[in-house]
């Protein structure tokens, strides 16, 4: 069920749904089974502006608003959560920061190919010793004349396996307590950048997740994004937006669980009646539907605030928190409704169950989201 | 034309005679039979209007199958069926004799000709009718025309304009048997023949049996999304090969890459009339059933007992399509 | 050389998702998307291909309630140059003849003059296939229906189509009207940036009864020759039995059916 969309947003949603149903959904099973990133599909999506959704046309993107953006991620994720995450991460934390914080030259050389989907982007934040505890990160970027030299290890980089452009978060000023970090644009082709093997994942398979390590990787000063020491601020601002995409991705996944469960429960007969005639099952379905609508409203609100250029950190945290936990729950209930069949490969809910879990963890684990919301409450 | 008194010189229930491919294409004969019904109720006669080259033999056939009158326009220029030429000639004749009703078969040609002709005659038209009756009170032709791929039917009337025009789907009515003793009048009206110059037919050749001969097959296995995945769908190909049949598919199955576009059945694909159609794993969406509804026997296999497909099946098997087809293949291999 | 093309578009319910309300004998539209009739999408795609080769302008034309502008915007996003919406409460209740009269009049008013009209062969809701030929008649244009291939040289079109079991190759001169079949081409997916712009940048032309210079008796319900007296759902044409049970039981039934139909022989294999 959808909220009041403008005619344009309704057509956008419908257009993407058509593509997702015709081109993505039939391949979703195979992508999950092989765990291989579907390059052909990515190229197709690139041609339709899926990799430059929020970037203005002057830089090769589609220039869409936040509501349209999240509708698109939701529709993609409904067909394939793995592709939803790929597109969301590329757009909100891979490409958008360059638009927001980059110089004209950086936008020209890095942003345009990203918006066109000629290059895929990543945001390298997490490290072996720094997950939720971002400030413990150890990757260093030492100024040397007109370059920086990067050393360190980034793990769990979404899109890492196929990226050309990587935003790397590193310590540039160790002695300045509030200005320790900076962000750097590092091309995958830079000597000293090494990619690890693609992770063999539980879910979201087909996503090229890997580690990226830097060994005396030298990059020109011009590759630094924004001012030195402003890294944390930029990262937090970027993650606010990234949460919207992930919330949409989780909602798409939850919606797919609901649809599959509705269909199955209507066809499966036990005790002489379809499952849909039993109160317990009706309860499951009603709860799923209600919470999915609630999730959409939360997300919609956060999107509106963002488009109005208002502070939306707490609201986006709420949206991400609520949707991600919802997705896990809908997947769980979905499998339950399917019974034994739900634990076998031919049934989509089996994949949804594996896909859902990571939603509660990446782009700010639920615990971190709660911290953000609490901080907002306590400061107000 | 607005309704005025029809001429009684000829019958006022007219049938457009399409004599091409005479032995396979029986729709004109079917319409003559129905026309006789309608004419009886209107206390008039059935007239077949036929245009072409060297058509006397067909005119005789039409009489033998029930036509009271045949209006024949015979000329070498009319050898190839041509929309604008035929529109002009038929309109001229109809304007003179003012039939009450004008029916035609919903062949490709009929579907191109009749709309144009209806506008020329400034009257109404309904298409692909599956039923025609005379309203006992009003005397109007009640035209039952399908919408939404056939799942909704509309009853249509043309109250104030004449002739009341309709095209009819082949196979809807039953022809009367050939009666060499039947009597009828064959009339050759005087009409100016001018060949159409605006559309030129360069070449026309019989369509080769398309890939797989889906339209010719007497047994077709049609698979839908419920087959689950490519390997399961492939069972249908094996079954078809074993039995000597063909494979069709629904749109979702084609999209998933389990079957080529040429195997698509339905509103946007092929309409087939096999002796036996086994539909496996398709719920029976309107778009799809439009393509299979004319099969002689339909067997449906689907997990959902409420699936719409069962409403149009002669035999319904409620169960998992994949396992049933796999088991069928196994059993048949044992026997054959 | 420039070819000015009009593509007639109809917004229809997505028939794949539509359900029938058997009580009220209507279709259940709620929650069902309105889409561009698929064959009209094919017509538009063909127009784009012609414009790419020859130049010219493409006008997307539709008759319908205000909501139909959605379809025009989509057509613009696909690449049409201009969108024209014929909308007026008096156009409502039109049968195909009244619809064709309205569309034909609009086409005759377009500037620059139209060289080629492309329509889908039929719609997925009414299935009649009337409007193309009727517009051709009203505008006194040559027509070919169900086209599967189009080639243009100067002012002449060579087209192919399948008709009653024959593959025909025909030639006709512009101006003309063609209705298209699925084999002609596959509509492309619309890039999102173009959708965004189609909804912001380009104004649509809106015409009502007076703009077309038609009389009320010529359009809508009053301008129709046919009337729908009732709607109903067909009775199940087959009164088949449904069997539930173990797969082995079901397969047995199926095999017996095959034998009964003479498709397989009990002892000797396939016939």
Return the domain boundaries, chain B: 13-187, 211-335
Q: Does B150 touch chain C (CB under 8 A)?
A: yes
Q: Is the pLDDT of residue C13 over 90?
A: no
Q: Do A62 and C35 touch (CB under 8 A)?
A: no
Distance CA B194, CA B172 (A): 35
| pLDDT for residue B100 is more than 80 | yes
Residue C87 lies in a domain: yes
- Chain A CB contacts of C33 under 8 Å are 14
A133 interfacial to chain B (CB closer than 8 Å): no
- Give the per-residue pLDDT at B207: 76
Say if CB A116 and CB A42 are below 8 A apart: no
Q: Is the pLDDT of residue A233 over 50?
A: yes
Indicate whether C260 belongs to any domain.
yes
Rounded Cα–Cα distance for residues A53 and A15 (Å): 14
Note whether B201 contacts C242, CB cutoff 8 Å: no
Total H helices, total E strands in chain A: 13, 10
pLDDT digits (tens, 9 = 90+) for C182-217: 889 999 999 999 998 898 777 899 999 999 999 999
Q: State yes or no: cis peptide before C175, omega within 30 of 0.
A: yes
Q: Which chains touch A (3 or more CB pairs under 8 A)?
A: B, C
Interface ipTM: 0.88
Residue with tokens 């010793």: A129
Percent of chain A with pLDDT over 70: 99
C35 touches chain A (CB under 8 A): yes
Contact criterion met (CB < 8 Å) for C196 and A68? yes
Residue in C74, C190, C193 nearest the CB of A57? C193
* Strand B141-147 to B131-134 pairing: antiparallel
Structure tokens, A153: 């290890």
Among C204, C211, C126, C6, smallest CA distance to A7 is for C204
Measured distance CA(B83)–CA(B149) in Å, rounded? 26
Tens digit of pLDDT for each residue in A183-213? 999 999 999 999 999 999 999 999 999 999 9
> Are both C83 and C41 inside the same structural domain?
yes
Q: Is C189 among the domain residues?
A: yes
C143 and C48 part of one domain: yes
Of A185, A154, A177, A165, nearest to A229 (Cα)? Answer: A177
What is the rounded average pLDDT of the residues A354-369? 96
**Sign of torsion over alpha carbons A147, A153, A157, A159:** positive
Mean pLDDT of the residues in chain A: 95
The answer to whether A41 contacts chain B (CB < 8 Å) is no
| Cα B227 from Cα A277, distance rounded (Å) | 26
Residues C99 and C207 placed together within one structural domain of the fold: yes
CA distance C53 to chain B (A): 23
Angle subtended at Cα B311 by Cα A274 and Cα C34, rounded to the nearest 5 degrees: 85
Neighbouring chains to B with at least 3 Cβ pairs closer than 8 Å: A, C
Domain harbouring C85, CATH code: 3.40.50.620
Alpha-carbon gap: A48 to the closest alpha carbon of chain C (Å): 4
> Looking at the predicted structure, is the pLDDT value of residue C46 above 80?
yes
Q: Is the pLDDT at B104 greater than 90, yes or no?
A: yes
* C32 lies in the same domain as C77: yes
Rounded to whole angstroms, the Cα distance separating B113 from B99 reads 17
Which phi and psi angles does B124 have, rounded to 5°?
-95, 160
The mean pLDDT of A33-61, rounded to a whole number, is 96
What values do phi and psi take at C264, rounded to 5? -125, 155
CB B306 within 8 A of CB B321: no
Number of domains within chain C = 2
Cα dihedral sign for C241, C245, C247, C248?
Answer: negative
Q: Is C68's Cβ below 8 Å from some Cβ in A? A: no
Whether residues C136 and C258 fall in one domain: no
Please tell me the distance from the alpha carbon of residue B224 to that of residue B254, in angstroms, as a whole number. Answer: 9
Both tokens of residue B140? Answer: 């109007």
d(CA C150, CA C157): 7
Taking CB atoms and an 8 Å limit, are C16 and B287 in contact across chains? yes
Cβ-Cβ contacts under 8 Å, C196 against chain A: 8, 12, 62-64, 68
User: Looking at residue B295, what is its pLDDT?
Assistant: 87
For chain C, the 3-state helix, strand and coil shares in percent, each to the nearest 5, are 30, 30, 40
Q: Is the CB of A128 inside 8 Å of chain B's CB atoms?
A: no
Same-domain pairing of C251 and C173: no
Task: Decide: B47 and B99 in contact? Cβ < 8 Å.
Answer: yes
Q: Are residues C93 and C172 in the same domain?
A: yes
β-pairing, A121-124 vs A165-171, is: parallel
Judged by CB atoms closer than 8 Å, whether chains meet at A267 and B303 is answered as yes
Q: Is residue C232 part of a domain?
A: no
Q: Are strands C26-28 and C19-21 parallel, antiparallel or unpaired?
A: antiparallel
Contact A284, A336 (CB under 8 A): yes
Task: Determine, yes or no, domain membership for C224.
Answer: no
What value does the mean pLDDT take over residues B77-97?
93
pLDDT for C24 beyond 80: no
Residues in B closer than 8 angstroms to A269, CB to CB, are: 305
Residue A52, pLDDT score: 97
Is A22's CB within 8 Å of B255's CB?
Answer: yes
Cα gap C116→B181, rounded to integer Å: 52
Distances (CA, A) of A325 to A87, A182, A229, B44: 21, 32, 34, 76
Put simply, whether A49 touches C (Cβ < 8 Å) is yes
B13-187: CATH class = alpha beta
Cβ neighbours of C185 (radius 10 Å): 18
Nearest-CA neighbor of C244 among B301, B226, B331? B301
Answer whether A140's CB lies under 8 Å from A152's CB.
Answer: yes
Among B124, B149, B301, the residue with its CB nearest the CB of C127 is: B149
Beta-carbon pairs below 8 A across chains A and C: 56
**Residues of A labelled as active-site residues:** 363
Chain A, residues 309-368, CB within 8 A of chain B, namely: 346
Contacts of C236 in chain B (CB under 8 A): 311-312
Q: Which domain holds residue C38?
A: 5-218
Q: Of all helices (H) and strands (E), which one includes residue C53?
A: helix C38-54
**Cα–Cα distance between C194 and A79 in angstroms, integer?**
23
Report which of B99, B97, B91, B90 is spatially closest to residue B38, judged by C-alpha positions. Answer: B99
**Is the predicted pLDDT of residue C235 greater than 80, yes or no?**
no
Task: Give the one of B255, B303, B305 whose C-beta lies nearest to A26's C-beta.
Answer: B255
| C69/C106 same-domain check | yes
A145-195 pLDDT, tens digit each = 999 999 999 999 999 999 999 999 999 999 998 899 999 999 999 999 999
Look at residue C235 and tell me if it is in a domain: no
Residues in CB range of B96: below 8 A, 6 or more apart? B7, B189
Q: How confident is the model at residue A1 (pLDDT cuts 50, 70, 90)?
A: very low
Q: What pTM did the predictor assign?
A: 0.85
C243: nearest CB among B126, B316, B336: B316
What is the SS3 assignment for chain B? CECCCCCCCCCCEEEEECCCCCCCCCHHHHHHHHHHHHHHHHCCCEEEEEEECCCHHHHHHHHHCCCCEEEEEECHHHCCCCHHHHHHHHHHHHHHHCCCEEEEECCHHHHHHHHHHHHHCCCCEEEEECEEEECCCCCCEEEEEEEHHHCEEEEEECCCECCEEEEECCCCCCCCCCCCCCCCEEECCCCCCCCCCCEEEEEEEECCCCHHHCCCCCEEEEECHHHCCHHHHHHHHHHHHHHCCEEEECHHHHHCCCCCHHHEECCCCECCCCCEEEEECCCCCHHHHHHHCCCCEEEEEECCCCCHHHHHCCEEEECCHHHHHHHHHHHHHHHC
Q: Which residue has the tokens 């006397």?
A: B56
Retrieve residue B254's tokens: 């084609």
pLDDT band at C243 (very low <50, low <70, confident <90, very high): confident
Helix (H, G, I), strand (E, B) or coil at A194: strand
Are C119 and C251 contained in the same domain?
no
Q: How many CB atoms lie within 10 A of CB A222?
A: 12
pLDDT digits (tens, 9 = 90+) for C57-71: 999 999 999 999 999
Q: Is C33 on the interface with A (CB under 8 A)?
A: yes
Q: Judge contact between C157 and C178, C-beta under 8 A.
A: yes
- Minimum-distance CB partner of B229 among A22, A269, A346: A346
**C140, C266: one domain:** no
Domain match, C97 and C211 both? yes
Instruction: Give the start-end residues of each E strand in chain C.
Output: 5-8, 11-13, 19-21, 26-28, 34-36, 58-63, 82-86, 116-120, 143-153, 156-163, 166-173, 176-180, 205-207, 227-232, 241-244, 264-265, 269-270
Please state which CATH number belongs to domain B211-335.
Answer: 3.40.50.1220
User: Looking at the domain assignment, is residue C133 inside a domain?
Assistant: yes
Asked if the model's pLDDT at residue A78 lies above 50, the reply is yes
CA B164 to each of CA B49, B138, B332: distance values in angstroms, whole numbers, following the listed order? 15, 13, 53
Domains for chain A: give ranges and CATH numbers.
7-120 (1.10.540.10), 122-229 (2.40.110.10), 232-379 (1.20.140.10)
pLDDT band at C267 (very low <50, low <70, confident <90, very high): low
Asked which of B313-317, C105-109, C174-178, C215-219 is least confident by mean pLDDT, the reply is B313-317
Spatial separation of the C-alpha atoms in residues A302 and A314, rounded to whole Å: 9
> What whole-number distance in Å separates Cα of residue C83 and Cα of residue A11?
16
Question: Are the C-beta atoms of residues A37 and A207 closer than 8 Å to each other?
Answer: yes
Query: Does residue C137 sit within a domain?
Result: yes
Same fold, B13-187 and B211-335: yes
**Between C101 and A269, where is the model more confident?**
C101
Looking at the partner chain, which of B108, B118, B218 has a beta carbon nearest the beta carbon of C97?
A: B118
Indicate if the alpha-carbon torsion angle B288, B294, B295, B296 is positive or negative: positive
Sign of CA dihedral C41, B213, C161, C139: negative
Chain B residue numbers touching A267 (CB-CB < 8 A): 303-306
Instruction: Characterize A110-123 residue by residue with b for buried, 16 or more Cβ atoms within 10 angstroms of its Cβ, and e for exposed.
Output: bbbbbbbbebbbbb
Residue C202 touches partner A, C-beta closer than 8 Å: no
Confidence tier at C81 by pLDDT (50, 70, 90): very high
Question: Closest residue of C to A61, CA-based?
Answer: C193
Task: Work out whether the CA dihedral B97, B101, B105, B111 comes out positive or negative.
Answer: positive
Question: Is B243 an 8 Å CB contact of chain C?
Answer: yes
Give chains near C: 3+ CB pairs under 8 A. A, B
């Amino acid at each position: 069920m959808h909220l009041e969309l403008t005619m344009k947003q309704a057509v956008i949603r419908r257009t993407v749904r058509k593509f997702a149903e015709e081109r993505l959904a039939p391949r979703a099973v195979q992508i999950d089974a092989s765990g291989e990133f579907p390059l052909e599909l990515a190229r197709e999506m690139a041609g339709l502006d899926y990799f430059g959704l929020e970037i203005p046309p002057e830089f090769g993107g589609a220039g869409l608003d936040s509501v349209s953006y999240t509708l698109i991620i939701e529709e993609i994720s409904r067909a394939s959560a793995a592709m939803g995450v790929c597109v969301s991460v590329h757009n909100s934390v891979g490409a958008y920061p360059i638009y927001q914080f980059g110089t004209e030259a950086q936008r020209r050389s890095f942003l345009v190919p990203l918006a066109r989907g000629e290059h895929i982007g990543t945001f390298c934040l997490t490290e072996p010793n720094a997950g939720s505890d971002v400030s413990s990160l150890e990757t260093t970027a030492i100024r040397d004349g007109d370059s920086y030299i990067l050393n360190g290890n980034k793990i769990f980089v979404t899109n890492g396996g196929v990226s050309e452009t990587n935003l790397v978060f590193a310590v540039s000023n160790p002695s300045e307590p509030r200005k320790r970090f900076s962000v750097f644009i590092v091309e995958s082709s830079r000597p000293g950048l090494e990619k690890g093997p693609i992770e063999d994942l539980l879910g979201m398979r087909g996503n090229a997740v890997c580690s990226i390590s830097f060994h005396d990787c030298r990059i020109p000063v011009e590759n630094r994004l924004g001012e030195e020491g402003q890294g944390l601020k930029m990262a937090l601002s970027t993650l606010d937006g990234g949460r919207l995409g992930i919330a949409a991705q989780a909602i798409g996944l939850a919606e797919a669980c609901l649809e599959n469960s509705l269909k199955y429960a209507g066809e499966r007969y036990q005790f002489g009646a379809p499952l849909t005639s039993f109160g317990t099952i009706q309860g499951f379905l009603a709860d799923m539907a209600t919470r999915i609508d609630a999730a959409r409203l939360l997300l919609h609100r956060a999107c509106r605030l963002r488009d109005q250029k208002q502070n939306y950190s707490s609201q986006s945290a709420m949206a991400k928190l609520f949707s991600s936990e919802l997705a896990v729950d809908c997947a769980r209930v979905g499998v339950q409704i399917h019974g034994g069949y739900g634990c076998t490969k031919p049934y989509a809910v089996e994949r949804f169950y594996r896909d859902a879990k990571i939603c509660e963890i990446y782009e700010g684990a639920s615990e971190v989201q709660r911290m953000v919301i609490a901080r907002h409450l306590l400061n107000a | 034309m607005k309704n005025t008194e029809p001429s009684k010189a000829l019958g006022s229930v007219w049938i457009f005679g399409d004599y091409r491919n005479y032995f396979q294409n029986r729709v004109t004969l079917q319409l003559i039979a129905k026309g006789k019904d309608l004419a009886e109720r209107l206390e008039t006669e059935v007239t077949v209007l036929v245009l072409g080259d060297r058509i006397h033999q067909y005119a005789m056939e039409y009489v033998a199958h029930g036509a009271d009158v045949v209006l024949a326009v015979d000329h070498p220029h009319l050898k190839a069926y041509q929309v604008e030429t035929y529109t002009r000639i038929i309109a001229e004749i109809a304007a003179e004799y003012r039939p009450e009703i004008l029916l035609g078969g919903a062949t490709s040609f009929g579907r191109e000709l009749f709309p144009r002709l209806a506008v020329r005659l400034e009257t109404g038209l309904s298409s692909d009718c599956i039923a025609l009756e005379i309203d006992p009170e009003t005397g109007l032709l009640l035209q039952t025309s399908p919408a939404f791929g056939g799942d909704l039917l509309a009853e249509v009337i043309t109250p104030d304009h004449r002739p009341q025009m309709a095209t009819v789907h082949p196979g809807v009515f039953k022809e009367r048997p050939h009666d060499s003793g039947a009597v009828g009048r064959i009339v050759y009206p005087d009409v100016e023949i001018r060949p159409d110059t605006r559309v030129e037919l360069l070449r026309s050749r019989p369509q080769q049996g398309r890939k797989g001969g889906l339209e010719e097959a007497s047994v077709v296995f049609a698979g839908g999304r419920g087959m689950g995945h490519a390997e399961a769908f492939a069972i249908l190909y094996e079954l078809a090969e074993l039995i000597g049949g063909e494979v069709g598919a629904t749109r979702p199955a084609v999209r998933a890459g389990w079957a080529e576009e040429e195997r698509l059945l339905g509103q946007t694909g092929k309409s087939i009339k096999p002796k036996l159609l086994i539909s496996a794993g398709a719920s029976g969406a309107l778009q799809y059933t439009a393509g299979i509804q004319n099969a002689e026997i339909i067997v449906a296999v689907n997990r959902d007992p409420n699936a719409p497909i069962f409403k149009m099946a002669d035999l319904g098997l409620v169960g998992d399509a994949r396992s049933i087809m796999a088991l069928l293949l196994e059993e048949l291999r044992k026997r054959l | 050389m420039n070819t000015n093309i009009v593509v007639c578009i109809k917004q229809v319910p997505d028939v794949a998702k539509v359900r029938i309300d058997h009580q009220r004998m209507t279709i259940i539209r709620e929650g069902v998307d309105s889409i561009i009739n698929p064959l009209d999408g094919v017509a538009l795609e063909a127009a784009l291909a012609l414009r790419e080769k020859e130049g010219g302008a493409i006008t997307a034309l539709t008759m319908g309630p205000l909501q139909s502008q959605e379809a025009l915007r989509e057509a613009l996003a696909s690449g049409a140059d201009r969108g024209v919406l014929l909308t007026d409460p008096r156009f409502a209740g039109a049968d195909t003849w009244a619809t064709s009269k309205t569309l034909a009049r609009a086409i005759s008013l377009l500037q620059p003059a139209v060289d080629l009209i492309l329509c889908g062969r039929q719609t997925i809701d009414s299935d009649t296939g009337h409007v193309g030929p009727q517009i051709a008649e009203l505008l006194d244009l040559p027509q070919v229906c169900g086209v599967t291939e189009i080639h243009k040289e100067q002012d002449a079109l060579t087209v192919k189509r399948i008709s009653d079991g024959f593959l025909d190759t025909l030639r006709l001169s512009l101006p003309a009207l063609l209705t298209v079949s699925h084999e002609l081409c596959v509509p492309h997916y619309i890039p999102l940036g173009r959708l965004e712009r189609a909804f912001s940048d380009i104004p649509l032309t809106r015409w009502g009864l007076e703009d077309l210079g038609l009389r009320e008796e010529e359009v809508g319900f009053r301008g129709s020759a046919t009337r729908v007296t009732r709607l109903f759902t067909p009775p199940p044409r087959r009164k088949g039995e449904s069997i539930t049970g173990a797969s082995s039981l079901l397969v047995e039934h199926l095999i017996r059916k095959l034998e009964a139909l003479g498709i397989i022989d009990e002892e000797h294999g396939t016939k």
